[in-house]
Amino acid sequence: MNPAKLLLIGFDGLDYNLIRKYPSDMPNFSRLLTEGVLTPLSSTHPPITPGAWASICSGVNPGRTGLLGFFLRQDYSFVPVTLQRTPARALWDYCTEQGLTCGVVNVPWPGPVPEAVCFGITGRFTALQTSPPGLEQEILDMGYRPEVHHPSEFSSIHGFLRFAFEQAEACTRVTRHLIEQHGPEVCMVVYNLPDMALHAMLNEKQIQKVYQEIDRNLGELLPLGERHVVVSDHGINIIEGPVFYFGEWLVREGYLTLAEGQATRSGREQLGFALRKILQRAGLSSIKKWMPQFLRNLLPAGIQYPAFLPIDYSQSKAFLGPGEYGDIFLNLQGRESQGVVPPGESESTLGEMADRLAEISRREQHRPIRLSPSRDIYHGDLLEQLPDAVIRDPGSWHLEPGLHENGPVGPPDLKHEHNQEGVFLFAGRGLETPASLEQAALVDVLPTSLALGGLKIPEGLDGRCLLEACDGAAPAYYGTELVGADHDLAASFSQEEEEEVMKRLEKLGYL
């Protein structure tokens, strides 16, 4: 078997500081580093999986992929981004366009399995789909575990870790098999392990074991590629800090008004009512079947999620997405069906919110909660799909979208949180690497990887190629389309597959 020219190995949530903390537990990573460069990789604001991987694979920012968090807004409803498809083209498109075959395994790219691959397995947020279609049974027979589980489904943390390790091992086994069988010139595989495991609130020793396991899987894949990229979408580590209930803050500051009469109903009833409405509008009505269990899992004591609550939009200037990172949407006149903020006041409204948030940090003598308008950070045709403002570098705050009677600031808590620092390592013999490297951005991964694989880089990407030269030659560029053909999104998934997506997001704790 010929090794792939380029092997991209992604680890969701691999943390820059943790890999440096456990060098003796990561011999394969350390060995790879001797022929490459390692740099922290600055994630999206906020650092969330779907948007971050979309920028890694496409080389363009969320304003051009249209993807940031787990949900896309349609008026006042939210649908999972994984049921959508970004028009941005990606690694596999640019490889096949230049005559190289490309295979993908478990890449968290939205929508069905990409068309331009010689083999493909969808990522964990969508239902399992493969290319070629018959591949599904073959990989399941090899022990591939596409399902996701929440740690609470296991009777012990050891049981959960056993599942997580088996899942990673099966991913390695299947990737090896597919590379041996199809001989792709470029292959990209993503492991869920670091993100999934660390969200289970592991202790120091368990985290160390997870990082050993990551390295073991990495070691098994390395011989299958000539040149390597190791990449993660964000970091994740333990943070001790106060909890900030964003929904509570919006209500208390008068930006968000809950519908009248809701106070007389229990939180669970309100949630069920609102969520059913949202899902029905989104065409996911048959999800009701598993709603009761889902709702029980969803409601931590005392917290209610405003994105799922009945809201009086005619009296609300702003509202939140269902994600945990405080995505703010303005209720704009002319854009939303019950918009109240005149378009000319959007900037001043966001500015006022940012000032009030900064004031809280001063009062609490804690690092600032910085709210930035999305257009200050991102640019592109699909900027309108993103929240109007996002929290930047939440630092040591734990952001909760919910309402809390004792909020908006709750007492300090220990929690695993996504952080800004992912990992980017690129390696290969004959590489001329920069003497020093500033922190890289997600969008730099694609151009750098293409050059590493001996491919030309599309002109007009947002990222830079971090390689000075490869095999003595400077990176080459070419003009091509950065946007793909329109797809009929509605036809991408069946009703059952849509339900599957929602279940997965629930188990991952994102709903």
Q: Which is nearer to Zn ion, 42 or 96 (CB)?
A: 42
| Contact set with Zn ion (CB under 5 A) | 12-13, 49, 195, 233
CB of 232 to Zn ion, least distance (A): 7
Q: Which is nearer to Zn ion, 13 or 380 (CB)?
A: 13
H helix runs in 419-467, sequence order:
445-452
Q: Which is nearer to Zn ion, 386 or 457 (CB)?
A: 386
Q: Which is nearer to Zn ion, 111 or 339 (CB)?
A: 111
CB of 176 to Zn ion, least distance (A): 24
Question: Crossing angle for the helix pair 495-507 and 291-298, nearest 10 degrees?
Answer: 20
CB of 109 to Zn ion, least distance (A): 13
Residue 303's CB: how many other CB atoms inside 10 A? 20
Q: Which is nearer to Zn ion, 53 or 119 (CB)?
A: 53
CB of 312 to Zn ion, least distance (A): 35
Q: Which is nearer to Zn ion, 4 or 198 (CB)?
A: 198
Structure-token pair, residue 256? 């968000």
CB of 12 to Zn ion, least distance (A): 4
CB of 234 to Zn ion, least distance (A): 5
Q: Which is nearer to Zn ion, 145 or 416 (CB)?
A: 416
Q: Which is nearer to Zn ion, 89 or 416 (CB)?
A: 416
Q: Which residues does 271 contact at the CB level (< 8 Å), separation at least 6?
A: 295, 298, 299, 304, 305, 308, 309
Contacts 24+ apart (CB under 8 A), 1-4: 1/179, 1/180, 1/183, 1/224, 2/183, 3/223, 3/224, 3/225, 3/226, 4/179, 4/183, 4/184, 4/185, 4/186, 4/187, 4/224, 4/225, 4/226
One-character DSSP codes across 401-423: -SB-TT-SEEEEEEEEEEESEEE
Please give the order of strands across the beta sheet that includes 398-400: 398-400, 235-245, 409-419
Residue nearest to Zn ion (CB): 49
CB of 265 to Zn ion, least distance (A): 35
Strands of 63-183, DSSP E: 71-74, 77-80, 102-107, 119-122, 130-131
CA distance 304 to 292: 16
Residue 264's CB: how many other CB atoms inside 10 A? 8
User: Is the Cβ–Cβ distance between 429 and 409 less than 8 Å?
Assistant: no
User: Is the Cβ–Cβ distance between 147 and 122 less than 8 Å?
Assistant: no
CB of 167 to Zn ion, least distance (A): 15
